[in-house]
Amino acid sequence: MQTANGKIVSLEGVAKSFGAVRALAGVDLAVGAGECLGRVGHNGAGKSTLMHALAGTLVPDEGKIVASGEDRTASYNVTLAHQLGIRCVFQELSLCPNLTVAENARIFHPNLKGWGWRRRAGSMIIGKLDEIFPGHGIADDDVVGDLSIGKRQMVEIARAFTVTDEPLHLVILDEPTSSLDSVTAGQLLNFVRKLVTENRSCILISHLLGEILDYCDRVVVMRDGEVVAERPAGDFDRDSLVAAMGDVTDEQKIEAHERIEKKRGEMPVVIRARPQTSDGAQELVAHKGEIVGLAGLAGHGQTRMLLQIYAAAAKRTTDTEVDGPVALVAGDRQTDGIFHLWSIGENVNVRSLRNMVRGLLIEPAREDALANEWKDRIKIKTPNMANNILSLSGGNQQKALFARALGSDAEIVLMDDPMRGVDVGTKLEVYDLIRQEAEGGRTFLWYTTEMDELSNCDHIYVFRNGRIVAELSRNELTEEKVLQSSFEEAAAS
């Protein structure tokens, strides 16, 4: 491994909070020239927040940013980061869908102007695409909105590596392979290694521990907004890395096994659904009282499947049958879940209002009763359910969303990776509650990106590219099997 000869950028004691949620709790991090730094941690460990601080898109509450030997904390912003040669590929796409590939390259480079800029931008971005992803099939005048998600990701990555007059020292890649197939992912990772030999640096954030272990020089493990381990990649193996991330798998499994084994098929089928992207593909079946897991890499059609089932509950379609009222627990609380102007109580009750109407009016007494019942049952930490929902921490907001679904008349509960950014204690409480409710005859469909959560499920479907590619019963469940199916080559194509 090449040793760092001079630091490109270092963070000292950087902290950041969003309301009651502490995303970063004083983090130190230094990146040297010519190294590939891997960063791992569970959802909500603060990886992305740290990256935004480095990219200059987010101002930390406290701490110091030192770049090229100078304290830049006061003036640090996106423009300065670019001038210092620090680039970032964000998880959510930062391309303008209404512009062409070449025009998007222009956005990134303020100095790309004057006569013939379009031709120069085009050849620059296509040249870089050719270098990283040979055989990409993208033209410089393609409108980005018309490209597939994978190609957009390739454009975005290639763009981060293009150089005009500003230097390029460090590129931060946040889950860069999430929308790439395994061939292009390999192309990218090999390119990163080549870059490192040219004395440039890279930070790789990934859920895929294999990528981290195989391609990084140094690994930083984050947990609850802090750096908990920092070692050369060679000193880690998969197990020690998982252990450092603070997995709760062991105790989890013991509890989960206590669950009475139900024979699949004894109970009536309540959901039968086929992914709409493919015809003749495998369908998903859930029986009453079952906890069904939807596994696979993030964004491979699991959420779409849940929404398809959710929509079918109101309006039946040919490829989806749902028997019984449905409720959904959102994972993306801000966009899909909470009503930010409302109290905790109103947020819990909204799904059940129909049952609280007497005559034409909603009964306040019934509203209070339901809210307070669930305050106790799911242990929402608040003095008063009439307080605004945003007064709660992220984990407790999520509990309120669970209370909304569980307190309703729904017999089927869909969960869209609901444990994102939730602390371990809360998770364990909610797991218990889900198992109790399943005993009581409720059916759960649980999309999760966290391997240990799958051990709570009776039956698991693995998704890839919008299709179901594997079906596992709980006895067959191993991390290997899930990962293998998630990554399997599309053999035919």
Partner 1 sequence: MRNYLLSPKFLRSALPGASLVILLMAIFYTQPRAMSYFGLNLMLQYTVPIALATIAQMFILTVNDLDLSIGPFVGLTACIGATLLNTDPVFGVLALLACIAVYAGLGALIHWRNLPSIVVTLGMSFVWLGVAVLILPTPGGTAPAWIKAVMGFKPTLQLFGYNVIPPFPIIAAAVIAVVVHIGLMRSSYGVVLRGAGGNPRAIARAGWSMLKIKVTMFALAGLFGVLAGLSLIGLTSAADAHIADRYTLYSIAGVILGGGEFVGGRVSPTGAVIGAMTLTLAGSFLIFLRISPDWQVGAQGAILILVLALRALINWREAR
Partner 2 sequence: MNGGLAATLKKLGEKPWIWSYVGTILVWLATVSFTMGQGGASIITAALSFATFTVIVGIGQMFVITAGPGNVDLSIPATIALSGAICMKVMDGSNAMLPVGMLIALGTGLAVGTFNYMLIRVLRIPPIIATLSASFLILSTAIAYGRGLKIKPPPLLAEFTTMKVMGVPLLAVFIVGFAVLASIVLNRTLYGRSVLAIGQNMRAAWLAGINVERTRYATYTLSAVLAGFCGLLLAGFSGGASLDMGSEYLLASIAVVVIGGTSVAGGKSNIPGIWGASLFMFLLVTMLNTFGASAGIRLIMTGLIIVAVITIAGGDKPQR
Instruction: Establish if 57 lies at the interface with partner 1 (CB under 8 A).
Output: yes
Instruction: Return the number of the residue (10 or 57) whose C-beta is nearest partner 1.
Output: 57
CA 493 to chain centroid: 28
- With CB under 8 A as the contact rule, the residue among 5, 6, 18, 473 that binds partner 2 is 18
Instruction: Establish if 79 lies at the interface with partner 1 (CB under 8 A).
Output: yes
CA 112 to chain centroid: 34
Instruction: Establish if 446 lies at the interface with partner 2 (CB under 8 A).
Output: no
φ and ψ of 278, to 5 deg: -130, 140
* Residues 116-155 as x/- pattern, contact with partner 1 by CB under 8 A: -xx---------------------------x---------
| DSSP letters spanning 133-189 | STT----TT-BGGGS-HHHHHHHHHHHHH--SSS---EEEEESTTTTS-HHHHHHHH
Q: CB of 463: closest distance to partner 1 in angstroms?
A: 23
With tokens 């086929």, the residue in question is 274
- Residue 61's Cβ-count burial label (10 Å; 0-12, 13-18, 19+) is exposed
- Residue 112 touches which member of partner 2, partner 1, none, C-beta under 5-8 Å by kind: partner 1
Q: CB of 129: closest distance to partner 1 in angstroms?
A: 19
In this structure, the chain runs to a length of: 493
- Residue 286 touches which member of partner 1, partner 2, none, C-beta under 5-8 Å by kind: none
Instruction: Establish if 78 lies at the interface with partner 1 (CB under 8 A).
Output: yes
- Residue 99 touches which member of partner 2, partner 1, none, C-beta under 5-8 Å by kind: partner 1
- The DSSP secondary-structure symbol of 334 reads I
Q: CB of 459: closest distance to partner 1 in angstroms?
A: 33
Instruction: Return the number of the residue (260 or 361) whose C-beta is nearest partner 2.
Output: 361
Instruction: Return the number of the residue (97 or 325) whose C-beta is nearest partner 1.
Output: 97
Q: Do residues 183 and 17 make contact, with C-beta atoms less than 8 angstroms apart?
A: no
Residue 411: name the closest of 354, 346, 326, 487 by CA. 326
Ordered strands of the 284-287 beta sheet = 284-287, 269-273, 320-322
Instruction: Return the number of the residue (5 or 278) whose C-beta is nearest partner 1.
Output: 278
CA-CA-CA-CA dihedral for 248, 249, 255, 261, to nearest 10 = 150
Ordered strands of the 443-447 beta sheet = 326-329, 412-416, 443-447, 291-296, 459-464, 467-473
Q: CB of 14: closest distance to partner 2 in angstroms?
A: 18
* Residues 97-116 as x/- pattern, contact with partner 1 by CB under 8 A: xxx---xx-xxx-x-xxx--
By CB under 8 A, the residues from 191 to 220 that bind partner 1 are none
- Residue 103 touches which member of partner 1, partner 2, none, C-beta under 5-8 Å by kind: partner 1
By CB under 8 A, the residues from 330 to 389 that bind partner 2 are 330, 334-342, 346, 350-351, 353-354, 357, 360-362
Residue 10: name the closest of 236, 241, 267, 203 by CA. 203
Instruction: Return the number of the residue (103 or 346) whose C-beta is nearest partner 1.
Output: 103
By CB under 8 A, the residues from 391 to 410 that bind partner 2 are 404, 408
Instruction: Return the number of the residue (82 or 474) whose C-beta is nearest partner 1.
Output: 82
| DSSP letters spanning 72-102 | -TTT--HHHHHHTTEEEE-SS--S-TTSBHH
Residues of this chain that interact with partner 2 (CB under 8 A) are 18-19, 310, 327-328, 330, 334-342, 346, 350-351, 353-354, 357, 360-362, 404, 408
